[in-house]
Structure 1
Amino acid sequence: MKKYDFIIAGGGMAGLSLAYYLTQSPLRDRSILIIDREQKDRNDRTWCFWERDPGPFESILFRTWKTVCFHGTTYTGPVDMGDYTYKMLRGIDFYEFVQNELAKHPTIEFKQAIINRIKETPQGGFLIADDEPFIADYIFDSTFALKLNQPENHNLLQHFKGWVITAEKPCFNPEKPQIMDFRIEQHGDCRFVYVLPFDEKTALVEFTLFNEKLLEKSEYDDQLRQYIDRFLDTGTYQIADTEYGVIPMSDELTQEYPSEHIVRIGTSGGYTKASTGYTFQRTQRYLSAIVKNLVETGKPIRPESWFRRRFKVYDSVFLNVLENNRHPADDIFTRVYTGNPRRVFTFLDEDTHVLDELRLFATMPFWPFLTAFFAVIRRKIAG
């Protein structure tokens, strides 16, 4: 049975990012095994996020925008992002970049296999993949499946389908992406479309919704087709590429450190922000902290103050409002974005101070959120 310093279970965004950060640290010569059931050799997803400063993947960003637009219930126009830049990164560009960087390090191995079991042992983290055993000082696991069935928690889904379309007419402004357009029927959910233009004739048009149940596959296509026909003067258009995804929006309490030698990362470790589904930038931040701690202390535990847990309460309250339809979601987002220029992006990054948070809360409908707050408390006590 071969032993490694680190085993990374799951070679997706979280696993590859961790390996990359390890190679950029004094731990670059440690033995690392990365296991995934499939090769990352296709453009299976797109990540969008905002940053103030250049990030580690700046050189491979597909598009960047200094201005974003919003179409809500009472406002249509640009959103003041302040110092932030909205960024788009394609999955294939990320995979190729990281894999090329990792290939420079002979102590890193890849194995394509199905992971059968991960468990704690006195000797370290133990893993079986395709019935072959491995052991490591630490296993970083992004494959653990959340249960999403405890009644005291809120368990919504963010699901989406997008088309990259090439239009006959020059109908897009490459400098002005639409991050939320609520001009579609809500059907009691939170539904919107975003449009990310690549040039005057090409854009990613994506239909997104937050609720508890997936749609029939044809319904996503119908919504995209109706939006394009109603709001985009494309003339004829061709679908060049498609993407589909489902992201859990859950306030389930995850165990990032279930045992001494096993660390859960990515969505498995609770890195997905419950109220928005944003994962990429939070994952980069958290993994950087893990590697920093490994370098400084020899242990991966990512320190977090108890006071930062208030953001989890905020997420639960927001999910309760959505889950119980306490107020129309399109109006909530309109209030958030138009009443909190610049501040909203800092808040969603969980970098605000309490005073800023109180100012943001003051723009929200009071009674629905107060009712949701007490409902969250009751559910947690009952659970």
Structure 2
Amino acid sequence: MKKYDYIIAGGGMAGLSLAYYISQSKLRDKSILIVDKEAKDQNDRTWCFWERETGPFEPVLFRKWNTVDFYGTTLSGSLNIGDYQYKMLRGIDFYDHVKAHLAQFSNIEFRLGTVNRMKDTADGGFLIVDDEPMIADLIFDSTHPLNLRDPANHNLLQHFKGWVITAQKPCFDVARPRMMDFRVAQEGDCRFLYVLPFDEKTAMVEYTIFNDHLLTPEQYEQSLRTYIDTYIDTGGYQISETEFGVIPMSDVPTPEHPGDHIVRIGTAGGYTKPSTGYTFQRTQQNLRELVNMLAATGRPERRKPWLMQTFKGLLDSVLLNVLQYKRHPADDIFTRLYERNPPARIFRFLDEETSLWEDLRIMSTVPLGPFTVGAFDVMRKRVF
């Protein structure tokens, strides 16, 4: 049975990012195996995020913008995002960049395979991949599914379908992506489009929904066609790429350390922000903290400010409660947030970088009645 220092189960964004940060630390000589059932050789997803500084993947960003457009119930037009940039990173560019970097290290192995079993033992993390057993001092697991049927918690999905289209006419402003456009039928949900221009004739147009069930392929496509025909003067267009994804929006408790030798990362480790589905930047931050702690102490436990983390988790649960029980139209909630607060403050709030006072100021700008009811319902569920 082969022994490694670390095994990374799941070679997607979280797993590859972890290996990338390990390779840049004093742990770079550790023997590492990365296991995934897919080769990650296709552009299977796109990540968009805001950032003030130069990030670790700046060389492979596909696009970045200094302003964004927002279309809500009473607010339309460009948002002043201050010193932030809105950035777009394609999956294939990320995979190729990180794998090329990791290929420099002979101690890092890749294996295509399916994880059949994972277990914490006295000797280490035990793994079976395609019927072959192996063991490691630590297993970092991004494959564990969340329990999205726990009635004591809130369980929504963020699901989306997008097209990269090429128009016959120049119709896109390359300097102004549409970050959220609520000018679509809400159907009692939170539904919006975003438009990411590549050039004057090419853009990704993506339809996003927050609710608890997926649509049929035809429903996503019909909404995309209706939006494009109504709000983009393409003169006709062709579809060159299609993207589809589902992200859990859940406040179900997610233990990062289910065993002494197993650490969950990515969505499996609770890195996804429950109320928004934002994952990429939170994963990068959490993994850097994890590697720093592992290098300093030999243990992967991250230091967490318990009180603030609990409070911010409560705010997530309240928003999920309001959305899940349809206590107030979602398009109006997001409009109020961006209309009554500087967008940079909202970005910091969503990145959990705001103070308690700032959090309270932001929450005072949402509809107080529905959110008060939601807060009492969340507390009731947690107490009883």
CA contact (8 A) 1:156 1:210 kept: yes
CA contact (8 A) 1:163 1:205 kept: yes
Q: What is the match of residue 100 of structure 1?
A: 100
Counterpart check, 1:169 vs 2:169: yes
Give the length in aligned residue pairs: 382
- Partners of 1:259 and 1:123 lie apart in 2 by 12
Percentage of identical aligned residues: 62
CA drift of 1:149 comes to 1.0
Give the 3-state SS of the residue equivalent to 2:334 in structure 1: helix
Counterpart check, 1:43 vs 2:19: no
Q: What is the match of residue 212 of structure 1?
A: 212
Alignment map for 1:273-292 (pairs within 5 Å)? 273-292=273-292
CA drift of 1:337 comes to 1.1
Gaps of 5+ in 1: none
369, 374, 379: which one aligns with 2:376: 374
- Partners of 1:182 and 1:337 lie apart in 2 by 13
Q: Deviation string for 1:164-220 (max 9, x for gaps)? A: 000011100000000010111101000000001011111000000000110011100
Give the 3-state SS of the residue equivalent to 1:267 in structure 2: helix
Q: What is the match of residue 320 of structure 2?
A: 319
CA contact (8 A) 1:79 1:338 kept: no
Q: What is the match of residue 232 of structure 2?
A: 232
Counterpart check, 1:348 vs 2:363: no
Normalised by the length of structure 2, the TM-score is 0.99
Q: What amino acid does structure 1 have at the position aligned with 2:144?
A: F
- Partners of 1:98 and 1:56 lie apart in 2 by 11
- Partners of 1:66 and 1:360 lie apart in 2 by 23
Normalised by the length of structure 1, the TM-score is 0.99
CA drift of 1:147 comes to 1.2
Q: What is the match of residue 332 of structure 2?
A: 331
Give the 3-state SS of the residue equivalent to 1:244 in structure 2: strand
Alignment map for 1:35-114 (pairs within 5 Å)? 35-114=35-114
CA contact (8 A) 1:171 1:233 kept: yes
Give the 3-state SS of the residue equivalent to 2:209 in structure 1: strand
Alignment map for 1:176-215 (pairs within 5 Å)? 176-215=176-215
CA contact (8 A) 1:321 1:372 kept: yes
- Partners of 1:353 and 1:80 lie apart in 2 by 21
Q: Deviation string for 1:6-36 (max 9, x for gaps)? A: 0000000000000000001111111000001
CA drift of 1:75 comes to 0.8
- Partners of 1:363 and 1:301 lie apart in 2 by 36
- Partners of 1:276 and 1:352 lie apart in 2 by 16
CA contact (8 A) 1:140 1:262 kept: yes
Q: What is the match of residue 294 of structure 1?
A: 294
Say what the alpha-carbon RMSD is for the aligned residues.
0.6
- Partners of 1:18 and 1:107 lie apart in 2 by 15
Give the 3-state SS of the residue equivalent to 1:96 in structure 2: helix
CA drift of 1:309 comes to 2.0
Q: Which runs of 4+ in 1 moved over 3 A?
A: none
CA drift of 1:381 comes to 2.0
CA contact (8 A) 1:68 1:79 kept: yes
Give the 3-state SS of the residue equivalent to 1:55 in structure 2: coil
Give the 3-state SS of the residue equivalent to 2:118 in structure 1: strand
CA drift of 1:148 comes to 0.9
Gaps of 5+ in 2: none
CA contact (8 A) 1:48 1:88 kept: yes
CA drift of 1:302 comes to 1.1
- Partners of 2:46 and 2:356 lie apart in 1 by 32
- Partners of 1:85 and 1:251 lie apart in 2 by 29
- Partners of 1:22 and 1:207 lie apart in 2 by 36
CA drift of 1:373 comes to 0.2
Q: What amino acid does structure 2 have at the position aligned with 1:338?
A: E
Q: What amino acid does structure 1 have at the position aligned with 2:340?
A: G
